Amino acid sequence: MIELTGLLILPAIGIIALILKKVLHLAISEEKIVTSVTIATAMVFFLGLIIGFQGISITLVNAIDFSFTLQLNGISIPFLLLAVVLPGLGLWSAYKEIKENKALFYIFYLLSYLSLIAVFMSSNLISFFIFWEIILISFFFIIAFWGERETKRKASMKFLIFTQFGSMVLLGAFILLYVYTGSFSLNTIASSTALIPIQIQDVIFFFVIIAAIIKMPLFPLHSWLPDAHTSAPTAGSVLLAGVLLKLGAYVLILFAVLLFPGVVKTFQVPLIILGLFTVLYSTFAASAQKDFKRLIAYSSIFYMALVFIGIASLNSLGETGAIVLIVSHGFIVGMLFVLAGMLKEKTGTRDLDKLGGLMSRIPMYAFFLVLAIIATLGVPGLSNFPAELLVLLGAYAVYPLSLLALVGVLIATNYYLSAAKRILFDSLKKTFGKITDISALDALQLSLFTIFIVVLGVMPSILINSFNLTI
């Protein structure tokens, strides 16, 4: 058995090593520390998947039922897979991009890495919230200090205000749970939901939904995401789209669907309609984007809306599909953001109007770009296909109109393929005459993403068998 704390101790060692390096001026480079830490954590995680995990519980403050409790719940494993693997895959982009104050950047990076892993294992609501907020704070600083010079001030503040609003609302839900059940422990709360009056259940559900809508994000509260993405460094974008957005779905499943299924049932149709509206809105918005990164950001709103529809369908098909889509989209969108970062690195721009005809200059890049795009569009054999299929089947069973989401997939095909055409296939612009293809390490980074996408596409059953919908 592997202790769950092991997954947290390794990044913590990395943070301490970075601080020591900074203070004592050690000769070892920051990149080596971070790489070894992420690889070691991933190895411990995969080892644990084989031989099993063991939880831990340390009471810190008895009076408010605050303990440090790590325990896997039914849906932890898929989310942990994303949290453990994706930040490591995005690192190579950070090595190329971050030049100033590297040690501090990697401290924030590892801090959010650690907290992301911890959030998906915490079963005490206070420690859950603490890690949830550490992610937010460290991500705020990643955007505010290492983002794009022109936009970072505004984008970081917008990110903070929206997500902090979500956190406050979530905290409100937690406090209400505590006031009525007398405990912050998830297991105790799950066994005593009957103590909570019906109208309070509605309020808690409403709070959780708002927190999820902000974090995922869905239509009325989504506007922070494109700005944050365009401003963040590539590694930050991978983390943001790959794992941070999934926190919203995690909260939604854990605190709404699993705790109060009855309440969700009452509001099921409005929720699905909200998801459908977001699907349509985000696809049309994505079609209008000129910045490639912004386009990917809007398309990830689209996929998170599909996830939302899947969760709201409340049957096992839809829920399973939603979780598979979460994992699959995590890898695909991570790959797309890495590709967008490389595009900027090679050509100096992400503006689709200024690009064109790069196919002849960078064939290997073109291969991976087309692969990532067809993976996004749900081509069979790649990981999005089973996920989208399950979500649509599940949603159709409860609300037939949800097949409207297929329109979204259709439009997504249009804007993604036209983006590929504008980047790769028009006539070559003169300014790009001298650019060279991606390096072997770049290709390695993209292949690692590809391996996960293909494996999950061919054998989605591995993932589906790894979770069950219980607390």
Partner 1 sequence: MINAEYILFGGVLALILIDLLRLRLKINNKNIIHFLTLAILIAAFIAEIIFGNMNVSFFSSTQYSQFVNGFILFLAVVIYAFLMSDSKDYSTTIDFLFILATLGAMLVILSSNFISLVIAIEMISISSYGLVFFQKNNRRMEGATKYVSLSFISIVIMIFGVSLVYGGAGTLSFTQLTSVDYIPFIAGVGLVMVGLAFKSTIVPFHMWAPDVYEASNSVVTAFLSSISKAAGLVAMIRVFFFAFPVSSPFVSMMFIILAVSTIFFASFLATVQERIKRLLAYSSIAQAGFAFVAIALLNYIGIQAAIFYIFTFAIADALVFLAYKIFEDQKIIYKKDAAKMFSISKIATVGFFIGILSLAGLPPTIGFFGKLAIFVALLAHGYVYLVVALFAIILFSTFYYFGLLRDTDVTEVRDTQKLNIKISSLRVKEALIIILTLALFVGVIFVNF
Q: Which residues lie near partner 1 (CB under 8 A)?
A: 60-61, 63-64, 66, 100-101, 104, 126, 129-130, 133-134, 137, 140-141, 144-146, 153, 156-157, 160-161, 164-165, 168-169, 171-172, 175-176, 178-179
Token representation of residue 346? 């090679």
The minimum distance between CB 128 and partner 1, in angstroms, equals 10
Q: Which is nearer to partner 1, 193 or 466 (CB)?
A: 193
> 3-state class of 456 per DSSP?
helix
Say whether the peptide bond before residue 78 is cis (omega within 30 degrees of 0): no
Radius of gyration of the chain (CA): 21
The minimum distance between CB 34 and partner 1, in angstroms, equals 18
Q: How many CB atoms lie within 10 A of CB 46?
A: 12
The minimum distance between CB 151 and partner 1, in angstroms, equals 13
Q: Which is nearer to partner 1, 49 or 176 (CB)?
A: 176
Q: Which is nearer to partner 1, 30 or 319 (CB)?
A: 30
Q: Quick one: which H or E segment has residue 105?
A: helix 102-119
Sign of CA dihedral 88, 168, 294, 330: positive
Say which residue the tokens 């087309």 belong to.
Answer: 370
Q: Which is nearer to partner 1, 160 or 272 (CB)?
A: 160
Q: Which is nearer to partner 1, 142 or 342 (CB)?
A: 142
Distance CA 457, CA 374 (A): 12
The minimum distance between CB 94 and partner 1, in angstroms, equals 14
Q: Which is nearer to partner 1, 214 or 317 (CB)?
A: 214
Q: Which is nearer to partner 1, 94 or 419 (CB)?
A: 94
Q: Are 421 and 414 in contact (CB under 8 A)?
A: no
Please enumerate in sequence order all residues whose Cβ is within 8 A of that of 153, keeping only pairs 6 or more positions apart, or say none.
144
Please enumerate in sequence order all residues whose Cβ is within 8 A of that of 439, keeping only pairs 6 or more positions apart, or say none.
none
> CA nearest 294: which of 367, 247, 231?
231
Q: Which is nearer to partner 1, 125 or 358 (CB)?
A: 125
The minimum distance between CB 308 and partner 1, in angstroms, equals 24
The minimum distance between CB 162 and partner 1, in angstroms, equals 10
The minimum distance between CB 203 and partner 1, in angstroms, equals 8
Q: Which of the 8 DSSP states describes residue 260?
A: -
The minimum distance between CB 69 and partner 1, in angstroms, equals 15
Helix and strand counts by DSSP (H, E) for the chain: 20, 4
> CA nearest 215: which of 294, 139, 292, 111?
139
Q: Which of the 8 DSSP states describes residue 380?
A: T
Distance CA 442, CA 340 (A): 12
Q: Which is nearer to partner 1, 65 or 442 (CB)?
A: 65
The minimum distance between CB 180 and partner 1, in angstroms, equals 9
Sign of CA dihedral 260, 266, 270, 275: positive
